[in-house]
């Protein structure tokens, strides 16, 4: 069985829950109240997205995105104040 791997970005929402964005799949965004619910919702959203592509005879896109932390010194922020 072939497995497709996609980067999913989890963003904590100010009130509650998590928004999940899958950059390789344009418009593939979902939400869950907990990380677990958000991960399950993302799995379902990705499967649905890929299913729609297959139905239309399109191939699943490759995920060429990655996540990296960029460190910005606090002193750099004061330059804009």
Q: From CA 62, how far away is CA 55, in angstroms rounded?
A: 18
Alpha helix ranges (H) inside 1-81 = 35-55, 74-78
Which positions ≥6 away from 44 have C-beta within 8 Å?
A: 30
Q: How far is CA 33 from CA 8, 17, 47, in A?
A: 16, 4, 20
- List of domains in the chain: 9-60 (3.30.160.250)
Q: What is the pLDDT of residue 76?
A: 81
Place of tokens 């002193």: 75
Q: What is the pLDDT of residue 74?
A: 85
> Is residue 80 pLDDT above 80, yes or no?
no
pLDDT digits (tens, 9 = 90+) for 11-59: 999 999 999 999 999 999 999 999 999 999 999 999 999 999 999 999 9
- Whether the Cβ atoms of residue 69 and residue 10 lie closer than 8 Å to each other: no
């Amino acid at each position: 069985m072939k497995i497709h791997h996609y980067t999913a970005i989890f963003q904590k929402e100010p009130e509650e829950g998590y928004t999940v964005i899958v950059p390789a799949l344009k418009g593939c965004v979902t939400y869950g109240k907990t990380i677990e619910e958000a991960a399950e919702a993302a799995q379902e959203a990705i499967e649905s997205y890929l299913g729609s592509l297959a139905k239309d005879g399109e191939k699943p896109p490759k995920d060429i995105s990655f996540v990296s932390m960029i460190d910005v010194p606090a002193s750099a922020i004061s330059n804009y104040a």
